[in-house]
Amino acid sequence: MPFLHGFRRIIFEYQPLVDAILGALGIQDPERQEPLDGPHYLASEESRLQVLGELLEKKAHSPFYQEGVSNALLKMAELGLTRAAAVLLRSGANLNFEDPVTYYTALHIAVLRNQPDMVELLVRHGADINRRDRIHESSPLDLASEEPERLPCLQRLLELGADVNAADKHGKTALLHALASSDGVQVHNTDNIRLLLEGGADVKATTKDGDTVFTCIIFLLGETVGGDKEEAQMINRFCFQVTQLLLAHGADPSECPAHESLMHICLKSFKLHFQLLRFLLESGASYNCSLHGASCWSGFHIIFERLCSHPGCAEDESHADLLRKAETVLDLMVTNSRRLQLPANFDIRPVGSLADKIQALHYSLRQLELRPPPLKHLCRVHIRLHLQPWPVDAKVKALPLPDRLKWFLLSEHSGVAEEDS
């Protein structure tokens, strides 16, 4: 029946051989089979492999033989039957054979089913470890990076030499796949991200659409606004952990454009993302655009813009809390700067009950900018920078110094409460 193709060919051409192979292994229904690690299966594995070998020898010259054994290899990959898979490979199974419905190869399926031993067997027999499927453009490493349950396959692929920075036609690498698959609640694949970074994943990878390693974190932070409080805490915790990993491997959270800059986003909502912003500043991230400086965007300008736009009144506790956190953030900027980088035309027009305090805060920064930094300030900055990465304050407290010197080295507002958002 030459007019048949695709899925229908399975039924009319090589499905009978696939059924016979599964039957020889005692697998009648892949959806309702007995556990493959059960005593009955293990006790009879040798005999079943012998039956399989005899069947393949008998059917070697039948029509559609290679399609049949190749399709059966996909089943072995799904079930993790490495010894049966080895028999099929020796008997002519094609490693590049694609599932007619999903277009995944045996290697892709082994990863999806988290079968690391099968992954190694297929790669050792010549499977292309970096092959991408025709539908989603996903490599085995991409698929392994997406789910925390696939961590064993991810580790095995990296050990076998998978290209950790290979990108699809859109410029998406395995690291970007891992980040895009995360939601901080159900998919918490921090260990996958850590393993990719330790394997040399490029934190500067960018897709053709401009997505960076911080794009998904910025998106997830946006999901916390107005959402369930418990989920928001989980997402914030995940974003914090991943940001720590990315910064430890050289990622820059202060680059342009502003909408892709994690620092810029945290500054714009510094009350909501206070903990993460504090971590970024303690880690030495630039509070201005790291590419173009304060002329592009400035942390000082963003903070005061937010303060001046808040409709505060004398009884408004949220405005007072906003001011306290703004003072902490500004103090961290000053404490971690050898010399201030205030933006040009840095003028403000505060209103409300706290206008005088905001104006005084602005005036003090102007004075710091105009005067040469005193030696004690430079010493303080140098020591704090030397103690990075985060948390600097904890390291200061552990120094063998008198309490008065520790107090001087600490951020002025280090005691501010850091509640979860």
Tell me, letter by letter, the H, E, C secondary structure of 333-359.
HHHCCCCCCCCCCCCCCCCCCCHHHHH
Q: Are residues 114 and 143 located together in one domain of the fold?
A: no
Report which listed range, 35-44, 232-241, 334-343, is most confident: 232-241
Residue 9 has pLDDT above 80, yes or no: no
pLDDT above 90 covers a percentage of the chain that reads 51
User: pLDDT band at residue 421, thresholds of 50, 70 and 90?
Assistant: very low
Residue 212 lies inside a defined structural domain of this protein: yes
Q: Are residues 10 and 120 located together in one domain of the fold?
A: yes
Find the mean pLDDT for residues 258-270: 93
Q: Are residues 119 and 149 located together in one domain of the fold?
A: no
Peptide linkage before 389 cis (omega within 30 of 0): yes
How many domains does one find in the chain? 2
- What is the chain's mean pLDDT, rounded? 86
More confident residue, 198 or 321: 198
User: pLDDT band at residue 418, thresholds of 50, 70 and 90?
Assistant: very low
Name the residue range of residue 12's domain.
1-128
More confident residue, 257 or 390: 257
Residue 28 lies inside a defined structural domain of this protein: yes
Q: Each residue of 365-402: pLDDT tens digit?
A: 888 878 777 787 788 888 887 887 766 778 888 889 89
Find the mean pLDDT for residues 19-47: 68
First CA to last CA distance, the chain: 64
Residue 33 has pLDDT above 80, yes or no: no
pLDDT, residue 282, reads 83
Model's pTM, two decimal places? 0.85
Q: Are residues 108 and 135 located together in one domain of the fold?
A: no
Q: Each residue of 77-96: pLDDT tens digit?
A: 999 999 999 999 999 999 99
- Of 392, 292, 389, 289, the closest CA to residue 335 belongs to 392
Instruction: Please tell me the number of Cα atoms within 13 Å of 81 on its side-chain side.
Output: 27
